[in-house]
Each structure stands twice: as C-alpha cells, then as structure tokens.
Amino acid sequence: MNKLYPYNTGNPLFPFFSKIDTRLFFFLIFILEVLLIFQGLDLSDEGFLSTFYSHIFNNPVSVSYNFMFWLTGVIGGAWAKVFSPFGLLGIRLGGAVVNTVTAILTFQLLKKYLNPVYLKIGLLLVVLSLNNDIKVLNYNILSALFYIVIVIFLFSGLQKKRLVKILLSGFFVGLNVFIRTPNILELGLALGILYYHYLTGWSWAATLKQITVFIAGFLIAIGCVVLAMHIAGHLPIFLSSMKLLFTMGKGVKNPDVEGGYGIFRLLDLFRSNIVESLKYALIPAAFVFGCLYLLTKFRNNPKPLKFLLNAGIWLAIAGFLFLIIVHKIDHFTELFFLNGLILLAAITMISSSIEKEIKMLFFFGVFFLLSFPLGSSDGIFTAGRYCLWIALPVTMNYILNIDSTNFTWVIKREKKEHTGDFLISEKLFAATKKILVFILIFAGFYFVYYYPFFDRRNRMLMRYSLQSDNLKGIYTTKGRAAVFNELLLESTRYMKPNDYVIAYDNMAMFYYATKTVPLLTNPLPGVYSSTLFRADLNSMQERSSKLPPVVMQKIATIGDASKWPEETMAGSYSKMERNLTRNYILDSFLKKNNYKEVWSNQDFKILIPDSVHLSAK
C-alpha cells in the first residue's frame, strides 16, 4: 500500500496479476526474454551491431560509421568480450538483461503512484511489444534504460529539491547522446522542470537554478565522454561519423532512393505518425463505445433482442482475434493503437484532477513517446515500441481505474433544447476492461510467437542450426539454415578470420559469422545513399592496398521479404529503385578491378578479383 493507493491492491478483475509475487513476475519476464533468444536469424541489424561490438576495440576504423552510437559500442563491445564463448547468444542475453532491468526500474519509479496490478499489466504489454524486434543488446533498449535512469534522478531531484540528482539526470542525458545521437532531444526535459513548478507553484529562482544545473550535468557528461574518446584514440573516428550523420540529415528529393534522414521528412513523418496513431485508436474506441451504447440502450428490451445483440458483440470479439491470427491486424497495428491510446489518455488527463505526481510522470512518459521516434528514419515503425515504458503503464492505470462513465449532451434546435445521456455501468465497464486486456495480451504473445522482425515464421519451424562458432545455439528455418550454411562453408575457400571483405548490401551478419572485417567503414551499406556509398568505396585504399572478396545477396532479406528463402519478393532485387544507382557504382568497381563470380546459390554469390591490388580511383 502507498500514499496514493491506500487500499487493498487485490483486484478481482485480474486475479493472476493480483496474486503473483513481484519478484516472480520479473523472473518470468526475464525467462520470457531468454526463451526468445534462441530462434531467428537476421542478417542486417543484428549483424550491424554484432560486427560493431567485435571490432570497436581491435579495429575501430573498420566500423567507423557505427561510431555515431559510440557508447553503445563500448557497452556492447565489453559485454561481447565477457560473453564471447556464447557468441550471438551472449549478445542477445545482454538484450534480455537490459530489458528486464528497465522493467524493474520502471516498476520502482511508478509503484508508489499506480495500482500495482495495473502497473504489472502495463509493463507486460511493454515487454511483449519489445519482443517483436531484434534481441541483441542495442542502442534502442539502452536508450530506454538510460531514459528511465534520467527520469528517476530528475523526478526525485525535483521532489526533494536535490540539485545533485538533477545534475545526475543531466549527466545521463549527456551519456545517452552517445548511445544514440538523436537522444540529444532529451535536453527538452528542461520543460519538465518548468512543468513541475507549474504544478506545484512557481519559484523562478529555483526553476532557473535547476535548469542550469541540469544543463551543467549534460555538459559535464559531454566533456567526460570526449576525454574518454581522446584517451582511447576514438575521437577522430567519432567526429568523422558525426560529419557523415549531418550529411545524411540534409534534405533529399527522394528519400526512398537517397535515404530518409532529412529534417523536413522526419518532421513530416512525425506529424503523420501522430495522425495515424490517433486514427488507429479512435476507430476501435468508437466501435467499442457504439457497442456499449447499444447494450445500454437495449438492456431492458425483450430477451431475443438482447441475445442477438450479445451474440453480435461476441462475434465482433472473435473477429478481432481472427484478424490477429491471420495477420490482418499485425504488430504494427497494435503498436499504433497503443501509441494512439496513450495520446488520447494524455488529452483527457490534462484537465483531470489526478494527482500532480502522476501528471508529472505521465509528462515524462509522453515526452519520450513523442521525442524518441523523431530521430528515426521510419518513426514509430522502428522506434515506437522502445518508448512505451512510462507512458503505457500510466495509461493502463488511468483506463483500468475508470469504474463507470456518464456522457450527457445538449442539442439546441429552433430555440428548444434536446438532451440525452449515456451511462456505462460499472459492471459493463469491468467486462470491457477485461476484454481489452485479454485482446492486447493475446496479440502480444501471438506476435512474439511469430517473430515479426526479419525472420517472420512460426517458431515450430525454427529448429535448424547454423554452422558458425559465433552463431551456435541459434536456430532458424530449414531453408534459411541451408542457404546460409552453404555460403559460410564455401566462403572458407576464399577468406579466413580477420580478412577484409565487402558484404553487400544488408548482410552484416556475414562478418560476425565468419569473423571477417568490413573494408567499407559501414558494415551495412544498404542504408547508404549512392553518394555516400561511392565515397566509402573510394576511400578503401586508406585502409587496405589489397582487393577484398565480395559477398553479395541476390534477394531482398528485410521488411516484407523476411520469409526468405522459402518466400521471396517478386521481381529482381538488384533492379529495385532504391538499389539501382548504388548497384551501378558497385558494378563499375567490380568491372574495373576484374572481379569474377566464383560461387553462387539461389540467394548469395561470391566474387574475387583477378589481381590482389586496388586499381587507382
């Protein structure tokens, strides 16, 4: 029991969450995370990060593009060294640990202010949404962990008027910028200091002092990290990656061809994401309230009519579940719905009389929800699931604490008033809340089972191992294991560990699986614009005078093509619009240096040069 919830925390609506011990709850969360790390092979994002961690200390120049996530690389590199005997499994275990720690810290932050039953439900929904994405330790989940630490220090510092804690919150914002550069937007949490004084009573002297201390903490962290980079010899590489990042951030005419990090595109994406989120929440909400209105209106009508109405509603629920099962409602649909639900809750909570502590915490949650996707090229699609930690538990607590509602409206027509009301009883609302939670949890577990990242399959089919020391213990489908194992076996004829290689274009996992080194400074050249790819290709002589083997994918392997090789996208991958110019640049390089194809299967090919030395530019 706590100050804001001084009643018995048992809840007849959700007995499981009422009875489960908190420590057992988090143990089960961790076990769920661990159970999911053994299946699925993603060649792109997980390879990008795993290769970064493998080379940040022994060959940092080979992964200099990744240095825009420098602190992620340091943390991930250190973790990968400690757990190196486990290979990719060890890095995935790091992801499970970070997510579990973030869940525990979020619980500690919110437990004094939210119903613990509803808090656990909210945290479970967050964890389920995260398990639709890559499993390895990555900059998104580290950003979320650091953000929770920031809020813990800032919230406590504001409440207790402790400048040291506010300084530490600013310090962690500074560190978080080096986890993921767009986290610099978290400097906007200075608005949280203003909002706190708005809620509690203005003291301009205290407000300005706290904002100053917060920014000072940020600057101290920047100084400390720059000094650490200088000592490690990483500073020039980091500055080069920052220059590249700003180049990528310039506006472009065609983001599908030239990249998607232009500031105007990101702002437009931000706007459209909010509109889409509200749409995905409002349409189901309107449907639900329409059903509740009919149930209320006809509750005293003859039994046959009531029976038909109830049957129709149960058919609608079954319809929702069916749409989930056949993937017409997918994990992105659920993600947009959750984002929209949070935004709707924010709109209603602004003028409500809930406690100022909850309002303050919800501010932090919504700030993260809005700011974090702003730095991602695909907005909510790629970043939206990582910023639900505070906002979703608070939203679920707010909704599930509603006992009943009463809407009253007045229409004036020809100087006459027409009034009406719509009361949703406590019993009816309780049933609605049960159904909402059931559908969300069912959907979460279902999408986890079908692994909706870049190996989107039934987990029962993922029982085939991979022939790489770094990938031992990882299982995927029979077809994927066969074609990738064939590539790994054949590649040993043309390259050995620590050799320079070009893996093109979304198959960075090849480097990690074979322990080879990227000769391009970006292990994932598929994210490059044609201009940046040409520049990187032309700079290879600075790192090696020898021509490297080239390994190429022949099919799409990400996004909608995630069921390869059993199901591949129609059309030629090499002729996709966004690949054409980049492919032309690579083809010109291969022809100029007399590369020839020495091996190929249905999905990959290997090319080697006639001579060993790079031609002049």
Amino acid occupying residue 491:
S
- Give the model's confidence band at 260: pLDDT under 50 very low, under 70 low, under 90 confident, else very high: low
> What's the pTM value of the predicted model, to 2 decimals?
0.91
Residue 492: count other Cβ atoms within 10 Å of its Cβ. Answer: 10
Residue 164: count other Cβ atoms within 10 Å of its Cβ. Answer: 12
Structural domain contains residue 169: no
Cα separation of 459 and 406, whole Å?
Answer: 46
Annotate 75-114 with three-state secondary structure: HHHHHHHHCHHHCHHHHHHHHHHHHHHHHHHHHHHHCCCC
The reported pLDDT for the residue numbered 287 is 86
Residue 475 and residue 550 in one domain: yes
Rounded CA Rg of the chain: 27
Cα separation of 383 and 332, whole Å?
Answer: 11
For 417-461, the pLDDT digits (tens) are: 767 666 777 888 888 899 999 999 999 999 999 887 899 888 999
Eight-state DSSP code of residue 528: S
| Phi, psi dihedral angles at 468 (to 5 degrees) | -150, 135
Amino acid occupying residue 243:
K
Contacts with 468 (C-beta within 8 Å, 6 or more apart), sequence order: 87, 488, 513, 514
**Could you tell me if 569 and 559 are in contact, meaning their C-beta atoms sit under 8 angstroms apart?**
no
Average pLDDT over residues 317-321: 91
Given 453, 481, 512, the domain boundary residue is 453
Q: Please, what is the end-to-end C-alpha distance for the chain in angstroms?
A: 71
Residue 437 and residue 576 in one domain: no
Residue 442 and residue 482 in one domain: no
Walk across the sheet containing 517-518 and list its strands. Answer: 517-518, 500-504, 550-553, 604-609, 595-600
Residue 445 and residue 470 in one domain: no
Residue 520 and residue 588 in one domain: yes
CA-angle at 400, arms to 399 and 402, nearest 5°: 70
Mean pLDDT score of the chain, rounded to an integer?
89
Contacts by residues 485-489 (CB-CB < 8 Å, ≥ 24 positions apart) = 486/601, 486/604, 487/551, 487/601, 487/603, 487/604, 487/606, 488/513, 488/514
For 585-600, the pLDDT digits (tens) are: 999 999 999 999 999 9
Given 419, 453, 487, the domain boundary residue is 453
Cα separation of 314 and 329, whole Å?
Answer: 18
Residue 418 and residue 290 in one domain: yes
Strand (E) or helix (H) holding 283: helix 263-297
Structural domain contains residue 166: no
Name residue 421's beta-bridge partners. 408
Does the CA dihedral 155-160-161-166 come out positive or negative?
A: negative
Average pLDDT over residues 357-375: 92
Residue 439 and residue 483 in one domain: no
The reported pLDDT for the residue numbered 514 is 97
Task: Find where tokens 């999911």 sit.
Answer: 36
> To the nearest whole percent, how much of the chain has pLDDT over 90?
66
- Give the model's confidence band at 6: pLDDT under 50 very low, under 70 low, under 90 confident, else very high: very low
Average pLDDT over residues 605-611: 91
- Please tell me whether the peptide bond between 505 and the residue prior to it is cis, using omega within 30 degrees of 0: yes
| Dihedral over alpha carbons 599, 600, 604, 608 (to 10 degrees) | 30
Residue 527 and residue 421 in one domain: no
Of residues 50 and 17, more confidence is placed in 50
Structural domain contains residue 143: no
Structural domain contains residue 539: yes
Annotate 559-576 with three-state secondary structure: HHHCCCCCCCCCCCHHHC
Cα separation of 562 and 585, whole Å?
Answer: 26
Q: Return the structure tokens found at 63.
A: 């992964």
Given 405, 421, 453, the domain boundary residue is 453
**Considering its fold, how many domains does the chain have in total?**
2
Residue 393 and residue 508 in one domain: no
Cα separation of 483 and 486, whole Å?
Answer: 5
Of residues 556 and 352, more confidence is placed in 556
Alpha carbon 202 to its chain centroid, in Å, reads 37
Residue 189: exposed, middle, or buried by beta-carbon count in 10 A (0-12, 13-18, 19+)?
A: buried
Structural domain contains residue 149: no
Cα separation of 246 and 485, whole Å?
Answer: 38
Structural domain contains residue 546: yes
Eight-state DSSP code of residue 39: B
Strand (E) or helix (H) holding 419: strand 416-424
Cα separation of 222 and 371, whole Å?
Answer: 20
Residue 448 and residue 469 in one domain: no
Which domain does 346 fall in, by range? 249-453
Judged against a pLDDT cut of 50, whether residue 257 lies above it is answered with: no
Amino acid occupying residue 309:
L
For 98-107, the pLDDT digits (tens) are: 999 999 999 9
Task: From residue 336, give the alpha-carbon distance in Å to each of 264, 339, 456.
Answer: 22, 5, 20
Q: Which alpha helices (DSSP H) does 372-450 contain, by range? A: 380-383, 391-400, 426-449
SS3 1: coil
**Could you tell me if 394 and 122 are in contact, meaning their C-beta atoms sit under 8 angstroms apart?**
yes
Cα separation of 222 and 482, whole Å?
Answer: 47
